[in-house]
Structure 1
Amino acid sequence: MTESVSQKAVCVYCGSSFGKDPQFSEEARKLGKLLHAMEWKLVYGGGTTGLMGEIAKATMGPEADGSVHGIIPNALVSRERTEDSPADKVSVSSFNDEIKKSVENHNGLTPLSREYGVTTIVPDMHTRKRMMATESDAFVAMPGGYGTLEEIMECITWSQLGIHKKPVVLFNTDGFFDGLLQFIQHAIKSGFISEKNGKIIQVATTAEEVIEKIQKYQVPEGRFTLNWDDEKTIAN
């Protein structure tokens, strides 16, 4: 394995569907393989279909010796577990080859398997997000839908408010986040986001660049310096 400069836990938000561009899955696998090679830990939403499953399995590696922690609410586990799951499958659900690469064909019905790492089942979405944030040293967003956008925007807002100073990276595969980046620039020009806070977000277009952006991240000036005693677990 490639020796890492410093070991980190990276939270990756991404879709439970594959999307229509095969490059999304390819880049998820590349990032997962790189995390595995560097012996970095993946923290993610615990799903096993779509990009979630791709990056989790790739981070675990061919010998399943990687470090992956999936955190999923109980309601979603119930939705994603089949009745005939093998008894020895105990962690995250296995990848279902029969699920086609589209949102419409994703139904989340896959069994649990060790090859996707360790899973923590939590009671609700708020607990899930707090645990993911607390355990992670950096946040990365890959292509996804409403949930992915909501999660990464919350991390950006937390940084703006001074709750944490961890790296935030958009993995802009095939220009997926171009529209969001245009909105951010529009908000800056319109006076709703400062130029300095616009630098909270770093943009990468390759898996290697994601790692580089995390390692070289500089906390921008101009963020709020408020006292968030109740949020210390996220900041640390």
Structure 2
Amino acid sequence: MNICVFLSAAELDETYTAPAREFARLIGEGGHSLVWGGSDVGLMKVVADGVQEAGGRLVGISVEFLADKARVGADEMVITKDLAERKALLLARSDAIVIMVGGTGTLDEATEILELKKHGLHTKPVVLLNTAGFYDGLKQQFQRMEKEGFLPLPLTELVFFAEDGVGAMAYLEEARGAA
């Protein structure tokens, strides 16, 4: 399975790096490929290192203005002209999407993926990995959107909130089996 992971390139402490490393190990040991933003810095590096160390394949999709941060030694690296092309290619090259902790770029990617799914433009499973309760506020907002009629389909069909990597991978494996 090609698992696209949206996440931060920031340097973060063990609260976020340890769970990211664990999820990366699950990707690699499961024989899956990581499809990610291609950067070799911060949390992106932690996950890429973990996947590669566990035997997984790395498919990086970077963007011209970040090409100097692209990982050397990925199995495949594509450099796109802009962020829109990058996001489209990340989605096209993946079978499932996992959204880990991140800033505005990660939130932008997450909302676009969910908007496309809401409109039936993809049916890939989407997981928000809620490390250390990072997405509790977003989950509450989505629940309010659903309750007040802003979502045309049930929240459970749009996104799965996982509290840890094991739960995220279990959901993805189950979704793949049901497909």
TM-score by length of 2: 0.91
For residue 45 of structure 1, report the CA deviation from its aligned partner.
0.4
- Give 1:160's match in structure 2, choosing from 76, 100, 118: 118
1:1-236 to 2 correspondences below 5 Å: 8-19=1-12, 21-61=13-53, 65-78=55-68, 80=69, 92-93=70-71, 113-114=72-73, 116-194=74-152, 196-217=154-175
Q: Distance in 2 between matches of 1:122 and 1:200?
A: 28
Aligned residues: 176
* Residue deviations 1:139-193 (CA, integer Å, cap 9, x gap): 0000000010111111111111011111000000000000100111121222212
CA contact (8 A) 2:146 2:154 kept: no
Q: Distance in 2 between matches of 1:174 and 1:133?
A: 26
Structure showing greater Rg: 1
Quote the RMSD (CA, aligned, Å).
1.7
2:160 aligns to what SS in structure 1? strand
For residue 56 of structure 1, report the CA deviation from its aligned partner.
0.6
Q: Which runs of 5+ in 2 are unaligned?
A: none
State, as a whole percentage, how many aligned pairs show the same letter. Answer: 31
For residue 60 of structure 1, report the CA deviation from its aligned partner.
0.7
Q: Distance in 2 between matches of 1:174 and 1:180?
A: 13
1:164 aligns to what SS in structure 2? coil
Q: Which runs of 5+ in 1 are unaligned?
A: 1-7, 81-91, 94-112, 219-236
Q: Distance in 1 between matches of 2:136 and 2:67?
A: 32
CA contact (8 A) 1:9 1:43 kept: yes
